[in-house]
Chains A and B, each alone.
Chain A
Amino acid sequence: EAGVTQFPSHSVIEKGQTVTLRCDPISGHDNLYWYRRVMGKEIKFLLHFVKESKQDESGMPNNRFLAERTGGTYSTLKVQPAELEDSGVYFCASSQWGDHNEQYFGPGTRLTVT
């Protein structure tokens, strides 16, 4: 069974540009999460989808970040326009409904804004 995949693995963009990150969850997982770790900080939650609906987006830092999950399958996270402080590693995770909802993480996308 394929795990959570993320694309690209690395992205280097200039301040003011737009970047779109993609996450493909494990097939059949209704729950999809985005997290990020900025340099020297802890991993922080961004938002949670249940199928195509945003269940919780309390961790989104500002309106420059837009997440979508059309059709309830893969998800995209767009940053527009990117700022220097957006640099970090963005992780996606998915889980299926069950007793413990273990979350399975992708390898992350390293975003560098210069």
Chain B
Amino acid sequence: DAKTTQPTSMDCAEGRAANLPCNHSTISGNEYVYWYRQIHSQGPQYIIHGLKNNETNEMASLIITEDRKSSTLILPHATLRDTAVYYCIVRVYRSARQLTFGSGTQLTVLP
């Protein structure tokens, strides 16, 4: 699976949009971008995934650049409960292999 690069930490004001970037310049054509997060003392939680088109669900939006070498996870109205470590993971479509977690981005939502 392709390697990803994320900033170590970010802050966001409560109620504002949180934009978390991820670089995956070596992504292959059959690899999807997945986002998970880990809230303190909980297990990782799936957020969203995408291939090349922008995706949106009830939790977040995912914007993938046209060349697919980077993406941005958007939490449109961040709350204090969104404070967590966010992981960007690239993996092959239909793969049941393990997830490879990097160091992720610690997002702190400030009141």
Instruction: Please list the residues of chain A having a beta carbon within 8 angstroms of any beta carbon in chain B.
Output: 4, 31, 33, 35, 42-45, 48, 50, 55-56, 59, 91, 93, 95, 97-108
Contacts and interface: CB of A to CB of B under 8 A. Distances in A.
A99 B93 contact: yes
A62 to B, nearest CB: 18
A101 B95 contact: yes
Contacts, number: 59
A100 B93 CA distance: 6
B98 interface: yes
B96 A108 contact: no
Majority DSSP secondary structure for residues of B touching A: loop
Given A100-B49, A100-B94, A45 B43 contact: no
B96 A31 contact: yes
Interface in B28-62: 32, 34, 38, 41-46, 49
